[in-house]
Amino acid sequence: MRVRYWTGLSALLLSLGVSACSDGDADQTFPPLDYSYLSQIHLNVASIDVQDEAPATPDALSSKAPTPPDQALKAMASQRLIASGSSGKADFIIKQAYLNRVGDNAVTGAMDVQLNIADAGNQHTGFVHARITRKLDAGDRDPSSRKELYTLTNQMMQDMNVELEFQIRKKLLSWMTDAAGTPIVNGGVQQQALGAPGMEPTPAAVVPSVNTPTVPSATPDKATVPVTAPSVPDAIFPTGADSEGTTASTPEHSPQPGILKLPSTDSAATH
């Protein structure tokens, strides 16, 4: 009995040790989240300040993630938001960024940011607000593992990149420039669709070219119809020209007086 007891205890400890090793990913490395491959958003300001005002949340898993959500937002702001102007400033404010466990096998997260624009006189001229939430069901895996937290953070950042760019193009178009710092006007910035759900095509996608030829009228002007076209029905003679009428090319006239003569009576008698 004593041998069996120690054998069972050893097997239990070994099982727990193997389980802990299989679930543990402390030594696993994850590449830093990078957004340099995405198109940059140039703003007509001289500087962009990133501020982290996200409150600390109890029991949050953010600090355990390979890349915490607030750090991912800072990386996005530094890589995508570019100051291309000579005056004014923009404030990128992180209002919320967290990961929390929900139930036994799921984890949820949220990100909330705001972008404020001020002119050269430090007057607030515009802002955008972007917020996203995500939930990840880990199934039979540990939802609080570094791998699952990394996956959820990456998914949340994909959503935030789309949502933030959509809001900027929609509400701060007058503050956007090209890479050289030239303001973009007349909707020229709307060249790339964001794929946001429910978005309609941008006006730039449906504006016709200035060289588009004009479409002729369905009913041509009567003055432009050639008078020599024989296939066009006449309004007065629908079935064709009058039998006594004349053609445009060889007009006919009555003979001059004295040319036509009546037959003589002598010739009539002989016949």
pLDDT tens-digit map of 128-146: 999 999 999 999 999 999 9
What is the overall mean pLDDT for the chain? 75
Opening angle at CA 159, ends 158 and 163, nearest 5: 120
Higher pLDDT, 36 or 60: 36
38-62 as b/e, with b when 16 or more CB fall inside 10 Å?
Answer: eeebbbbbeebebeeebeeeeebbb
Evaluate if residue 85 carries a pLDDT over 90: yes
Between the two ends of the chain, the Cα-to-Cα distance in Å is 160
Prediction pTM value: 0.62
Residue 240 banded pLDDT, cuts 50, 70, 90 = low
Evaluate if residue 118 carries a pLDDT over 60: yes
Domains and CATH numbers, the chain: 35-181 (3.40.50)
What DSSP designation does 177 have? B
pLDDT on residue 27: 73
**Among residues 132, 185, 129, which one has the least CA distance to residue 160?**
132
**Among residues 158, 76, 91, which one has the least CA distance to residue 128?**
91
From residue 215, alpha-carbon distances to 205, 218, 219 in Å are: 21, 9, 12
